[in-house]
Amino acid sequence: MTKEKKQGKLIVFSAPSGSGKTTIVRHLLGIEDLNLEFSISATSRDKRGTEVNGKDYYFMSAKDFKSKIKNDEFLEWEEVYRDNFYGTLKAEVERIWALGKNVIFDIDVSGGLRIKRKFPEETLAIFVKPPSIDELKIRLKKRKTESDDKINMRVAKASAELATAPLFDTIIVNDNLDKALLEAKNIVSKFINS
């Protein structure tokens, strides 16, 4: 990935599951002035429900994913569980920059920090924080999409993720969604126009 020509900015949103980052990212994508395009992640996991290849994720086999790692085709990647990979393809970011747009990521904490390290000047890394771990647990239960065991696992992971918040450029506490949406818009707009 070259840096010669003027390219778009990279806006990273990371947070524990249930913090509201996806809601914030979707809201920002709807604001035309921000000129954002969503970075679609690659994964080796199976499709779920109505997920569509090239829209929700770039689905590929673990073998293909490992081959792309070997060929240095990822900006960042992670093996979440054995042979269950997630990552950002360099070609995806280049595709968005070629459209003259800024890239927005809805990505896990470690992936977000890796992008920030690789592109420190071009990246704004935003951490979305729930008001509390208890509130996070309530939000995850309200979703009714996962078992109690899975929720407990996410809550345990959230504690570790919350510890990384100070490593991000800015933290948005999502205790009031309207306030968080406005704060996110203002922070992103200021960064893009700087």
Task: With H, G, I as helix, E, B as strand and everything else as coil, classify residue 18.
Answer: coil
**Residue 157 marked ligand-binding:** no
21 closest CA partner among 85, 86, 121, 111: 111
**Residue 19 marked ligand-binding:** yes
**Residue 16 marked ligand-binding:** yes
**What is the distance between the alpha carbons of residues 36 and 43, in angstroms, rounded to a whole number?**
22
**Residue 23 marked ligand-binding:** no
Token pair, residue 66, equals: 């490992």
**Residue 180 marked ligand-binding:** no
**Residue 130 marked ligand-binding:** no
**What is the distance between the alpha carbons of residues 79 and 189, in angstroms, rounded to a whole number?**
33
**Residue 15 marked ligand-binding:** yes
**What is the distance between the alpha carbons of residues 191 and 194, in angstroms, rounded to a whole number?**
5
**Residue 39 marked ligand-binding:** no
CB atoms within 10 A of CB 52: 9
**What is the distance between the alpha carbons of residues 93 and 97, in angstroms, rounded to a whole number?**
6
Which residues are known binding-site members for ATP?
A: 15-22
Which residues are known binding-site members?
A: 15-22
